[in-house]
Amino acid sequence: MPPDRPDTVLDPDRRLVLKQSGVAAIAALLGQSGAARAAISAAPMGFTAVPASLRDAVVVPPEYEYRVLYRWGDPTGIAGNMPEFRPDASNTADEQAAQAGMHHDGMHFFPLGTDGRRALLVLNHEYTDEQLLHPHGSKPLTLEKVRKSQQAMGVSVIEIQRTSTGWQQVLPSPYARRIHGNTPMRVGGPAAGSPLMKTTADPAGQRVLGTFANCAMGVTPWGTYLTCEENFQGYFGGPSDPAFRADTASRRYGTVPGGQWVDWFRLDERFDVSRHPNEPNRFGWVIEIDPMDPNSTPVKRTALGRKRTESATCTLTRDGRVAVYMGDDGAFEYIYKFVSRDRVNPGGLAANRDLLDHGTLYVARFDPNGQGAWLELRHGEGGLTPEKGFAAPAEVVIKARLAADAVGATPMDRPEWIAVHPQSGEVFVTLTHNSQRGAPSRPAADAANPRAGNLGGHIVRWREAGADAAATTFAWSHFVLAGDPTLPGAATHYPSTPADPFGAPDGLHFDSGGLLWIQTDMSGQAIGKGAYANLGNNALLCANPSTGQIKRFLTGPRGCEITGCVVTPDRTSLFVNIQHPGETRDDGSGSPNSAWPDGTTPGSARPRSATVVVWRRDGKVVGS
């Protein structure tokens, strides 16, 4: 294990926590104690907003600077294994396993030590662009290409340090680690050992090879990182057995022949659903990773439910248990909450090792009167019985979508990230967009998802009853109905005027001062067109929920999504991910329309997802 594991990795002021104990100390870690509240203040958003842009560049306010920190293919920093990126993408699968993956997404900043100068960045790699990943694309597919694809997703742990010229990656670092589609991990919680989790390679149903499709994230009060498996269905296919018929749950999750994005199953048979029908059950989970120990085994925490999990945002209940909010990103999918059985203990990971394995899983119902309820998914109740297809508690979590259907949850317009206000505990969720809302034979607009053919997306906020994250009821309202307000019929609502408009909100982060950082993901093919014609490239916006003010802070290069924003505890640096620059390929050439960050004109360099750090030239608080 590397040196100097911090006792309290989430805290902006370590001394503050060491003076405290029990729940108070843990609350301080999440920025929820009175002491933590006193240490920060809401700052006015005085920065110069940037205009909507279609440039192939990152643009920040004139008072700010940015630096590219960690691009796809850059060495992660594993000692003795630091292969350089080859611009023709000829790095091998083994080399990829020691380099930054593709499509950077959710991310967290874990301080090391107490002087604010060293930290770990832990970030997800969500999916692959197979055309860019290999020198000449994926055809013909080979096992080497499949392995490279698997090893280009997952998680990176990198060490960074603040030098006189800003943040730099530390190479090598004893913490550096790549977790990917072939990394061994353990199964924890009610699904461990279930017959539905057993495979030929793992007859006990306790060990899984790998994680991929890692989208948003969470961080626990005891300092571990949670990575979420979202579009795992994109990598399962088949069949080699033409008699194979997918069951109800497989169809609900999309793990059916013909649904795959990449044909891994042709060369790696565990992804053939006809030969290994339980393998897809082993994906779609939240995985807990100890970022401080590169030798630790990641654990799939099945008590949190299986879905296309977008995020896993943690907060504390009044009595000191952990609540985890999660979105399931599919059209008409649900919002979930897990509440642990046991209280969080002081003492870090060692004192909370299996806390996420026991608790209650709920799903949200949004009522038309602005109230809502958390509906418990408990085996044997609410129709979750063997007669209805739930043979055991394990099947409720493995088939969480079907369980949520049965109890009457509210289908939402693609739930993405969830963020909890650091002082009030109010919860915000992005519903990115849902063009199918109101379409024939699809759910109509409703109170919580009020627009048919919703392309703008929206943000819902709620307060738990009694300001307690363990509550089973809540009061909700809309924070924003996003989109272009100048378009006829857009039916937008912004909380203040003027506000910088945006479309398709996805990433969402509260900094410790209570500023809300909204990141957008209009699809690459839709940027600059139709409903998004006036909104420019994807952007990072800063919002103040108290005043409703919303200003555009950063715009990304062509075709990219903006995601993974995390502000340091001292609020002087902002890290953000530029995902899939160049995804747009609509000029007829089939070539990416971006060369960011290495080139200046399309075609001059292979575009690369990358982590960027942004800071004020005067060193003061970002967003103020």
* DSSP one-letter code for 246: -
Distance CA 183, CA 211 (A): 7
| Residue 257 identity (one-letter amino acid) | P
230 binds, among ligand FEO, Ca ion, none (CB under 5 to 8 A by kind): ligand FEO
Q: How far is the CB of 512 from ligand FEO (least distance, A)?
A: 25
Nearer to ligand FEO, 288 or 329 (CB): 329
User: What distance in Å separates the CA atoms of residue 576 and residue 595, rounded to the nearest whole number?
Assistant: 19
Comparison of 119 and 427: residue with beta carbon closer to ligand FEO: 427
Residue placing its CB nearer to Ca ion in the complex, 250 or 563: 563
Cβ 289 to Ca ion, closest distance in Å? 19
Write the DSSP symbol of residue 9.
T
> Which lies closer to ligand FEO via its Cβ, residue 125 or residue 451?
125
Least Å distance, CB 215 to ligand FEO, is 3
Beta carbon nearer to Ca ion, 71 or 308: 308
Position of tokens 């499709």? 213
Q: Which is nearer to ligand FEO, 9 or 216 (CB)?
A: 216
- Amino acid found at 109: F
**Of the ranges 51-59, 80-88, 189-197, 215-223, which one interacts with Ca ion (CB under 5 A)?**
215-223
By C-alpha distance, which of 299, 282, 278 is closest to 200? 278
Distance of CA 135 to the CA centre of its chain: 29
| Residue among 225, 341, 343, 330 nearest 287 (CA) | 225
For tokens 């005891």, name the residue.
222
**H-run or E-run covering 362:** strand 359-366
Contacting range for Ca ion; rule: CB under 5 A; set: 32-40, 54-62, 399-407, 413-421: 413-421
Q: Which is nearer to ligand FEO, 431 or 541 (CB)?
A: 431
CA dihedral 101, 267, 583, 124 (to 10 degrees): -30
Instruction: Give residues in contact with ligand FEO (CB under 6 A).
Output: 126, 215, 230, 310, 329, 416, 506
Q: Which is nearer to ligand FEO, 119 or 304 (CB)?
A: 304
Min dist CB 563 to ligand FEO, Å, is 8
Helix (H) or strand (E) segment spanning residue 400: helix 400-407
Nearest to 236 by CA among 268, 209, 204, 205: 268
3 state SS of 421 = coil
Determine the interface stretch with Ca ion among 361-369, 504-512, 599-607, 608-616 (rule: CB under 5 A): 504-512
Binding partner selected for residue 413 from ligand FEO, Ca ion, none, CB under the kind-specific 5 to 8 Å limit: none
Nearest approach, Cβ of residue 316 and Ca ion (Å)? 25
Q: Which stretch binds Ca ion (CB under 5 A): 40-48, 53-61, 410-418, 604-612?
A: 410-418
Q: Does 484 bind Ca ion (CB under 5 A)?
A: no
Candidate ranges 144-152, 255-263, 412-420, 493-501; the one touching Ca ion (CB under 5 A)? 412-420
Cis preceding-peptide flag for 498 (omega within 30 of 0): yes
The residue (of 500 and 506) whose beta carbon lies closer to ligand FEO is: 506
Pick what 500 binds: Ca ion, ligand FEO, none; C-beta below 5 to 8 Å, kind-dependent.
none
**DSSP string across 272-324:** BTTT-TTGGGG-S-EEEE-TT-TTPPPEEEGGG--SSB---EEEE-TTSEEEE
**Min. distance of Cβ 308 from Ca ion in angstroms?**
10
310 vs 464, beta carbon nearer ligand FEO:
310
Q: How far is the CB of 46 from ligand FEO (least distance, A)?
A: 31
For 131, the 3-state DSSP assignment is helix
Q: Integer distance in angstroms from the first to the last C-alpha of the chain?
A: 38
CA contacts within 13 A on the Cβ side of 117: 4
Task: Name the residue nearer to Ca ion (CB basis): 426 or 521.
Answer: 521
Q: Binding to Ca ion by residue 506, rule CB under 5 A? A: yes
* Tokens encoding 74: 């850059």
- For the bound state, the minimum distance from the C-beta of residue 371 to Ca ion, rounded and expressed in Å, comes to 28
Torsion sign, CA atoms 241, 246, 250, 256: positive
Q: CB neighbours of 106 closer than 8 A, spacing ≥ 6?
A: 123, 124, 214, 215, 216, 217, 227, 228, 311, 507, 563, 564
Kindly state whether residue 464 participates in binding Ca ion, applying the rule CB under 5 A.
no
Q: Identify the burial level of 2 via C-beta atoms within 10 angstroms of its C-beta, where 0-12 means exposed, 13-18 middle and 19 or more buried.
A: middle
Minimal distance in Å, beta carbon 230 to ligand FEO?
5
Distance in Å, CB of 214 to ligand FEO, minimum: 9
Alpha helices in 458-578 (DSSP H): none
From Ca ion, ligand FEO, none, interface partner of 11 (C-beta below 5 to 8 A by class): none
Q: Which of 95, 288, 395, 521 binds Ca ion (CB under 5 A)?
A: 521
CB atoms within 10 A of CB 598: 15
Rg (CA), the chain: 23
- Binding flag, residue 583, Ca ion (CB under 5 A): no
- Beta carbon of residue 142, minimum distance to ligand FEO (angstroms, whole number): 27
Told to check if 426 binds Ca ion by CB under 5 A, we report: no
Name residue, tokens 């190479």: 171
| From ligand FEO, Ca ion, none, interface partner of 395 (C-beta below 5 to 8 A by class) | none
Give min distance, CB of 457 to ligand FEO, in A. 11
Query: Which span (68-76, 214-222, 355-363, 536-544) binds Ca ion, by CB under 5 A?
Result: 214-222
Please say which residue, 215 or 361, places its beta carbon nearer to Ca ion.
Answer: 215
Residues that bind Ca ion (CB under 5 A): 215, 416, 506, 521
